[in-house]
Amino acid sequence: MSVTVRVPAKVNVQLAVGAARPDGFHPLANVFLAVGLYDEITVTPADELRVTCDGPDADQVPLDGTNLAARAAQALAERYGRSPDVHLHIAKDIPVAGGMAGGSADGAGALVACDALWQTGAPRDELLEICAELGSDVPFSLVGGAALGIGRGEQLTPLEVGGTFHWVFAMARRGLSTPAVFREFDRLGEGTDIPEPVASGELLAALAKGDPDALAAAVSNDLQPAALSLFPELAATLAAGRAAGALTALVSGSGPTTAFLVRDPESAAAVAQALLASGTCRTVRTASGPAPGATVAGR
Ligand SMILES: C[C@](O)(CO)[C@H](O)COP(=O)(O)OP(=O)(O)OC[C@H]1O[C@@H](n2ccc(N)nc2=O)[C@H](O)[C@@H]1O
Ligand SMILES: Nc1ncnc2c1ncn2[C@@H]1O[C@H](COP(=O)(O)OP(=O)(O)OP(=O)(O)O)[C@@H](O)[C@H]1O
């Protein structure tokens, strides 16, 4: 008996960041959009808790107890007083350390998979609570679609989306550490007045309407200057995508993956090809959103 769960990546269409809180986390107005790039997590009973991973970035994924999928299984087992002895296999398609919530997807996926395998019947609110303990992005990986995250990004309100948005993603030649990007944000903001993060009304209206031009005009990412400061070569990738006709170009979350909003799948293919030809990235992928959250794909 095994259970497989499919979980999407995310792009942040708005990431407003406030000044660091006393606990070191930053208050956010984080507008998440799940996109159709997926990791699949398969859980099978085993003699001990063990993680395996395959996919193009598999060699960068830790297979010990620090893996978010292992931590999710441990957390659920502890709550229900049972043994966490399972084999978790991650079929990884989401770039690692790319700002697309790949590890978070695996955490949410393992939680849903173990919940189904063990038939714990945990209420959704309890699963979301465990997700929030695992990381700020993990609750969104569970729910998918589109949502506004406040607090450190874990307090979610689902958002209406009136259409499908088409994207091209350019994967960089190395990763960026999320804490390092937040630290660079702090350094760049030293001595300035950092406003409270608020969601943009124009952006929420554009999502609700399903209007790519309006969304392109409203996207923003307060972590982008910090990501560019640590990874200056990303400026050339953003420029190449804009020159190829993307409606807008931005760093996805803490980066270094860059995201390009386009009008339709044909433009996605053209922008993807131009980005690859520019030589400014490792690889490109196209995907559209919103995509559903963690979903049992097979038993
Ligand atoms: C950049 C985003 O991906 C945007 O969605 C998230 O804010 C990061 O979410 P995540 O990777 O799940 O982050 P966590 O595992 O909760 O935290 C990793 C580290 O990121 C920083 N962090 C994260 C979230 C937040 N609101 N403020 C922060 O300063 C902290 O240094 C923290 O130690
Ligand atoms: N299941 C996992 N998959 C990938 N990385 C993991 C996993 N579990 C733990 N990690 C660790 O987390 C680090 C960040 O990887 P991840 O792919 O989650 O980054 P990210 O997509 O930039 O995250 P986010 O967008 O949530 O900030 C990795 O370098 C790795 O050490």
pTM over 0.95: yes
Cβ–Cβ < 8 Å for 141, 8 = yes
**Is 100 one of the annotated binding-site residues?**
yes
Tell whether ipTM is more than 0.90: yes
* DSSP tag of 108: H
Q: What is the pLDDT of residues 47-96, one digit of tens each?
A: 999 999 999 999 999 999 999 999 999 999 999 999 999 999 999 999 99
Secondary element (H or E) of residue 267 = helix 265-278
Residue with CA closest to ligand 1 atom 22: 25
Distance (Å) from CA 179 to ligand 1 centroid: 7
Query: Could you give all domains of the chain from N- to C-terminal order, each with its CATH number?
Result: 3-159 (3.30.230.10), 165-289 (3.30.70.890)
How far is 219 from 212, CA to CA, in rounded Å? 10
Distance (Å) from CA 201 to ligand 2 centroid: 31
How far is 151 from 156, CA to CA, in rounded Å? 9
Q: What is the pLDDT of residues 95-120, one digit of tens each?
A: 998 999 999 999 999 999 999 999 99
* DSSP tag of 64: S
How far is 76 from 111, CA to CA, in rounded Å? 7
Chain-wide mean pLDDT for the chain? Answer: 97
| Pair of tokens at residue 165 | 């948005």
Q: What is the pLDDT of residues 218-241, one digit of tens each?
A: 999 999 999 999 999 999 999 999
Predicted confidence at residue 255, as pLDDT, reads: 95
| Exposed / middle / buried, residue 24 (Cβ in 10 Å: 0-12, 13-18, 19+) | exposed
Give every CB contact of residue 261 below 8 A, 6+ residues apart in sequence: 165, 166, 167, 212, 215, 216, 219, 246, 247, 248, 249
Instruction: Using pLDDT thresholds of 50, 70 and 90, give the confidence band for residue 299.
Output: confident
**Is 96 one of the annotated binding-site residues?**
yes
**Is 65 one of the annotated binding-site residues?**
no
Residue with CA closest to ligand 1 atom 23: 25
Looking at the annotation, which residues are catalytic? 10, 137
Predicted confidence at residue 298, as pLDDT, reads: 86
Distance (Å) from CA 107 to ligand 1 centroid: 14
Distance (Å) from CA 104 to ligand 1 centroid: 11
Average pLDDT over residues 162-166: 98
Residue with CA closest to ligand 1 atom 21: 179
For ligand 1, pick from 10, 17, 23, 25 the residue to mutate: most ligand atoms within 8 Å of CB. Answer: 25
Predicted confidence at residue 169, as pLDDT, reads: 97
Residue with CA closest to ligand 2 atom 4: 103
Predicted confidence at residue 97, as pLDDT, reads: 86
